């Protein structure tokens, strides 16, 4: 499979061939259809003292599951956080950090909702909004705004 990596701070990105990872207990192996390129990742490439695995959020199709996985099976469309190594053809996600992609929602739209959607949901929960109340969003910018 192909994976994106870099060797030094601020250095170029490389596309390398590597083996397909195996899902461990409670994990899913996902064929990536869309990935999120976020400001925190760009900053890490420019500023991290040592190279880090790239990629945080992705959407794709489950191709294998590890022991103990109960919510998903091969063929399911999912989106979630992978905490590195997401800039690849295949990535491993923890079942607990993964959500199903609803019918009719594309992979690009699904991956856009992972981080931004969780932040928005958390903000609404913290504000204790009730049905019928209005929320004003000011100065919205970037994925999280």
What span, in angstroms and rounded, lies between the C-alpha atoms of 19 and 121? 36
Which is nearest to 27 in space by CA: 63, 69, 62? 69
39, part of any domain: yes
142, part of any domain: no
Averaged pLDDT, 57-81? 97
79, part of any domain: yes
144, part of any domain: no
139, part of any domain: no
**The domain spanning residue 81 has which CATH number?**
3.90.180.10
Contact in structure between 76 and 100 (CB atoms under 8 Å): yes
- List, for residues 124-143, the tens digit of each pLDDT value: 888 898 889 988 877 666 66
Domain count, the chain: 1
Show the domain range for 111. Answer: 2-127
65, part of any domain: yes
- List, for residues 92-117, the tens digit of each pLDDT value: 999 999 999 999 999 999 998 887 77
pTM for this predicted structure: 0.82
Position of tokens 């958390």? Answer: 122
132, part of any domain: no
Mean pLDDT of the chain: 88
Lowest-pLDDT choice from 47-56, 58-67, 78-87:
47-56
């Amino acid at each position: 499979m192909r994976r994106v990596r870099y060797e030094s701070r601020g250095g170029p990105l490389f596309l390398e061939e590597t083996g397909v990872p195996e899902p461990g207990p409670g994990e899913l192996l996902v064929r990536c259809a869309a990935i999120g390129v976020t400001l925190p990742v760009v900053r890490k490439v420019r500023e991290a003292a040592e190279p880090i695995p790239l990629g945080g959020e992705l959407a794709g199709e489950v191709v294998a599951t590890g022991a103990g996985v109960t919510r998903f099976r091969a063929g399911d469309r999912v989106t979630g956080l992978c905490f590195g190594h997401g800039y690849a053809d295949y990535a491993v996600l923890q079942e607990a950090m993964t959500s199903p992609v609803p019918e009719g929602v594309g992979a690009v739209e699904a991956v856009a909702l992972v981080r931004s959607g969780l932040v928005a949901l958390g903000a609404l929960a913290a504000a204790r909004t009730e049905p019928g109340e209005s929320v004003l969003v000011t100065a919205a910018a970037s994925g999280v705004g």
